[in-house]
Amino acid sequence: MKARKISGFTFVEALVALLIVSALLILVGRIVSSVRSSVSKGVANLQNLQQARSLLNSIRRDFIVSSPVYDRNDDYSSRAKVRMEPVVTQKTSGKFPQPLFVSDDTVLLYKRLADSSIESVSYHFDARAGRITRTSDKNPERVFDGIKKASFKVYSLHENLSPHVPLLWVSVTVEHTEAGEKQVFDLATTIGSSIICKDINNQYWNGTR
């Protein structure tokens, strides 16, 4: 009578099986971690794009109703000078009248509110932090993150406008990851102030506040 062979795993076979299962668990863990990282990065980059669009909309809302600030005691010649150059690229003395200021990384503007008070608003790009900060003397500070590059310029249209109406050009660059592929987006817009345009083209403008 033959002895019945007892089936089962030897110690070596069990050890090999344990190692295989452990390796599979580690592999699955790495895949899950990679997927989570990619999803998180994709969400962050999508937020960067949304932040850039919100920034452009915010600057547009502010600049379109902006204008220089005058004092009641300003004489006509001082007002007329600022009226002819309502946006400057070099900071002034800080005395009235005050034109709008635009540099490569900063925009400083003024808005007249419903109660006739003046709101001072500035946008400043911090290249090291990758953000643009909106600062107001009337409202809380607002930060737009995820901005890789930014530039502010002022120029004038030369056709059919005399004197020339200044326009603000804003350009921002953000990174966006989609389907694992990194893309760089350049967003830009050109904005004009309806108030400045009206003043410049109004031949009866008399400089009163």
Give how far Cα 167 sits from Cα of 43, 87, 143, Å.
Answer: 34, 9, 24
CA pseudo-torsion sign 99, 121, 199, 72: negative
Residue reference for tokens 């002034």: 92
The single-letter DSSP state of residue 195 is H
Predicted pLDDT of residue 28: 56
Domain spans, the chain: 31-200
Phi, psi torsion values for 39, nearest 5 degrees: -65, -45
User: What is the pTM for the complete model shown?
Assistant: 0.72
d(CA 63, CA 169): 11
d(CA 76, CA 80): 6
CB environment 71-108: b (16+ within 10 A), e (fewer) = eeebeeebbeebbeebbbeeeeeeebbbbbbbbeeebb
Predicted pLDDT of residue 84: 80
Give per-residue pLDDT as tens, 68-116. Answer: 988 777 777 777 788 888 888 888 766 777 889 999 999 999 998 888 8
Lowest mean pLDDT among 35-39, 45-49, 96-100, 132-136: 35-39
Which H or E run contains 12?
helix 11-63
